[in-house]
Structure 1
Amino acid sequence: MSRNTENTTPALTPDEKLTLQTAAHGVVSLMAAADPGPISSTRSGMAGGKALSSATGLVGRVLAEKAKGLDLGGGSTADLADRVFAALADSVTLLKAKAPDEVANFRDTIATITDAASRAHKGGPGPAETAMVQKIGAALEAA
């Protein structure tokens, strides 16, 4: 007998969904910003976006929804990072409280995004991308 997981997952508010979306879409943007050349940032962004779309479970369903109110704007990579790092920590805290079984899935999704984005270049990730991956990981662990 198949189990309908749609009925067993916790309901998230629009604001909670936006937090998860901000974190994941923001990671894609941060990875693109870490390698700012026009071609390389496009490659990173496309690879990260494809990885984002492969998410499964509750996290995947939330990320597949249209992100209403998503605002990653800012005057600099530092502004973007402040917003995204906070959303990463808030997402983990939120999932620990509402869907503890999804915490590992969320972390794996973010790791898949960073891995895909950093592998989008010949020769592997540069120092700025490597540093960004470490900062993203630290933000996830802070929660």
Structure 2
Amino acid sequence: MSVTLNDQDKLTLRTAAYGAVTLMSAADAAGKPHKAATEGSIALASATGLVGHVLAKAPKGKDLGGKSVAALADHVLPALTAAMTLLKKQDPAEAGNFRNTVIVAIEAAARTHQGQPSPTLADMARKIIEALDAA
């Protein structure tokens, strides 16, 4: 199956994936947010397939800073669902690849601590996974 993604589609995927890592980093504000962002971004850069080619570039043109975690979540969580919907329509295997890539990235971001992630990180990961599965 051939997948055709326009520039807006690619931006949606990048915003969703890198936004998920940014959310994890923001949820770790009291811990090691820079390390969480680094580990999550490395996981995204290690993606393969169509998803890997799209995520090879960080998102440009979309603000992932946000004035609060809530504002960032309002932007990123719908983008995750939109990315999954888009990919499921065109290539279910790539949708699975995208989902797995994002989950690996948020797990990498959460593992910057020894032992279990904090309740805040675990809750953010749950919200991200729910957004992925809402499609």
| TM-score of the aligned structures, taking structure 1 as reference length | 0.89
Q: Deviations over 1:88-122 (max 9, x none)?
A: 00000000112222011011001101110111112
Question: Partner of 1:94 in structure 2?
Answer: 86
Q: Deviations over 1:71-95 (max 9, x none)?
A: 2232110010111100000000000
* Most deviating of 61-70 and 51-60: 61-70
Question: Partner of 1:63 in structure 2?
Answer: 55
Pairs aligned (count): 135
Q: Does 1:72 align with 2:64?
A: yes
What does 1:10-25 correspond to in 2, within 5 Å?
10-25=3-18
**Identity of matched residues, %:** 49
Question: Partner of 2:21 in structure 1?
Answer: 28
Find runs of 4+ consecutive structure 1 residues off by over 4 angstroms. Answer: none
- C-alpha distance in 2, partners of 1:72/1:45? 12
Verify the 8 A CA contact 2:44 2:55 in the aligned structure 1.
Answer: yes
- C-alpha distance in 1, partners of 2:23/2:109? 10
Give the aligned residue type for 1:100: P
Question: Partner of 1:3 in structure 2?
Answer: none
Please, which of 78, 82, 89 is the counterpart of residue 74 of structure 2?
82
- C-alpha distance in 2, partners of 1:41/1:124? 16
Q: Which runs of 5+ in 1 are unaligned?
A: 1-7
- C-alpha distance in 2, partners of 1:29/1:22? 10
Question: Partner of 1:127 in structure 2?
Answer: 119
Q: Which runs of 5+ in 2 are unaligned?
A: none
| TM-score of the aligned structures, taking structure 2 as reference length | 0.94
Secondary structure at the residue paired with 1:69? Answer: coil
